[in-house]
Amino acid sequence: MSFFAKLLGTAPDPKEELRPLWLWVVSEARNPAWYRECGAVDTVDGRFDMITNILAVAMLRLEQDEQLVPASARLTELFVEDMEGQLRELGFGDPTLGKKMGEMMEAMGGRLGAFRTAFPNGQEATTDAVNRNANLTDDADGQAMARKLIALNNSLSTVSNDALLSGKFGT
């Protein structure tokens, strides 16, 4: 994109190419099975956990193809944009918004790193990562969520790049 196209806003925003995948992330994070079967807490924090869990899995899939690595940055931009809007709706103002966004980005980065390490090491490592990083109901131990996240990760690894970017694939 040329300097003038950026300056004048005449070129399409490159992150919009990732909007369908972002909408899939949010939709999947709202899937009642994560809450009913996997022990995710149905609170603001629990919903944030599920968004970061699903986003981390999607970003790990983007990392599988060198051509898609830049797309993970644009997907992160959509995450930041959406989370900032949600925080503003919850009443956060400029003085505290930056700090809260920093905390959210740190949580996202931690989740991504935890799953990047855990998935290749199997169920036990992923369960440990879930138990350390997610808000779960009192009777949940992370195993069910770990199994479902591993299955999602495995499923996304078979999705074509075009289907992934379109957000239209069966998982």
Domain positions in the chain: 14-163
**What mean pLDDT comes out for the span 127-136?**
95
* Whole-angstrom distance, CA of residue 17 vs CA of residue 123: 33
Instruction: Give me the phi and psi of 102, to 5 degrees please.
Output: -60, -45
Q: Is it the case that residue 114 has pLDDT exceeding 80?
A: yes
pLDDT at 3: 65
pLDDT at 4: 62
Higher local confidence (pLDDT), 87 or 132: 132
pLDDT at 147: 98
Is the full-model pTM beyond 0.85? yes
Q: Which amino acid is at 77?
A: E
